[in-house]
Structure 1
Amino acid sequence: MPASCVAKWKDAGMNPIEWLFDAQLIIGGQTILWREIIGNLFGMASAVGGMRRKVWAWPVGILGNVLLLTVFLGAVFGTPNPVNLLGQAGRQVMFIIVSIYGWVQWSESRRTGEHTAVTPHWASNKTRVLLGLGLIGGTLVLIPIFRALGSFEPVWADAWIFMGSLLATYGMAKGWVEFWLIWIAVDIVGVPLLISAGYYASAVLYLFYGGFTLVGFFIWMRVHRRNSLSIETAFPDPTLKH
């Protein structure tokens, strides 16, 4: 039988905020919160803005983070899915903090006369090593902390997603092309974890993110190559013999 979609309203007279918090969608017997869907759509819009290097990507992403924070603390907020993904919830707080930093950074670039909010460039080899060590080391440090707090198993996946999201968001703020690759590493682990925890809307969006991040990576790489060629043409190396 085809899946039936039924929006549940607890109170016909509720205000928009109450509706956003309580509204549910039932698909094939599975309950999905509308704020999980809307929060992920904000995240998708933010990713599109990031790919286009638009400053508005940061505040839009923050709105999605606030919504998803309440979703991933299911047991705290009494949602239909009583599963706490502490890494997922904690990364929403981290997103908000790092996004404010990115928002300031990109806004400052625009105020100083730059054509775009950020100029994509490759990180140095030293930075790449530090990113790799930070992802692995941070995950190992967070595993016992998340497990002690009662996060959903496998805890290592939740910790990996948290650290990867932290590094990817910081990398986006800095304009490193590699940040898209970190997102791919996050998505590969995130999709099966979210499905096993029952967060189906987020899992579907993560799956879509995987393809989207590949596109974003090649776009930023192409922009970097074009900028490098423009600089080389405008300011040729005088030491080169023709």
Structure 2
Amino acid sequence: MLGQRPIEMTAVLCGLANIALIVRRSIWNYPFGIVMVTLYAFIFFENRLYSDAGLQIYFFAMQVYGLWNWLNGRADDGRIVVLRLPPRQIPWFLLGGLAAAAAHGSAMAAFTDAAFPYWDGAIAILSILAQYFMARRYLEHWLLWILVDLLAIALFLAKALYPTALLYGIFLLFSAAGLLTWWRIVRAAEATPAAAAGR
């Protein structure tokens, strides 16, 4: 495990750069994200966190998709346009996420030697939704990342992955800042048509 420390620290640094650039709505977050998920696939597999290891494959694909979607969703200033998740879709995502988390955790418990199958599985499913929402540029992805960060901090502390637990603690702070920043952007965008209509 000690031999993983340089790899883990590199992944941590890439993760910090990634989320800082996401908060700023910079498309340059994606190169750092691609390196981060590649390294974490190895780290999690070695620590028998198989849900998280497999999740990195999905993350890699979503990094590529997100890069394409952000390239095609930029405003005149080069930053991406923030969208809201359609309200009618929220119950479906919630129900689907709960069912998927329960099924995934059960499968991991039955067929693998996963250390914390249900805990790990819940993080995996929430992360899948959050990553998809982020690639789609939905404001609500920050809410899911906050929940993921809280669950992940406790899990990684239990597995003695202390640099990664610290990273997710910093992710939590960035996620809160990102939620506030993107919320202000959405509010400003919603207020602009109203102000124009009043003139």
Same fold (TM over 0.5): yes
- Would you say 1:174 and 2:174 are equivalent positions? no
- Contact 1:53–1:116 (8 Å) recurs in 2: no
Where does residue 155 of structure 2 map in the other structure? 193
Kept after mapping to 2: 8 A contact 1:107/1:117: no
Task: Give the superposition deviation at 1:174.
Answer: 1.2
In structure 2, the residue matched to 1:100 is: 64
**Structure 1 150/114 Cα, relative in aligned 2: closer, same or farther at 3 Å?**
farther
User: Deviations along 1:81-116, whole A, 9 cap, x unmatched?
Assistant: xx3101211111111011111111011224xx6434
- Alpha-carbon deviation of 1:128? 1.7
Aligned mate of 1:136, from 98, 113, 122: 98
Q: Does 1:72 align with 2:49?
A: no
Structure 2 CA distance, aligned partners of 1:117 and 1:129?
A: 30
Contact 2:15-2:167 at 8 Å conserved across structures: no
Work out the number of aligned pairs and report it: 198
Displacement of 1:23: 7.9
Which structure's relative contact order is higher, taking Cα pairs within 8 Å and 6+ residues apart? 2
Matching residue within 1, 10, 16 for 1:38: 10
Instruction: Point out the structure with max Rg over C-alpha.
Output: 1
The whole-number CA distance in structure 2 between the counterparts of 1:43 and 1:103 is 16
CA RMSD of aligned residues (A): 2.0
What is the DSSP-based 3-state SS (H/G/I as helix, E as strand, rest coil) of the residue aligned with 2:73? helix
Is the Cα contact below 8 Å between 2:73 and 2:81 reproduced in 1? no
Q: Cα distance 1:214–1:114, how it changes in 2: closer, same or farther (>3 A)?
A: same
Match of 2:138, as an amino acid? W
- Unaligned residue ranges in structure 2 (runs of 5+): none
- Among 163, 170, 178, which residue is 1:208 paired with? 170
Higher helix proportion, which one?
2
What CA distance in whole angstroms lies between the structure 2 residues aligned with 1:161 and 1:114? 36
Instruction: Could you tell me which runs of 5 or more consecutive residues in structure 1 were left unpaired when the two chains were aligned.
Output: 1-21, 25-31, 75-82
List 4+ stretches of structure 1 deviating above 2 A: 113-118, 231-234
Q: Are 2:154 and 2:165, in contact at CA under 8 Å, matched by a contact in 1?
A: yes
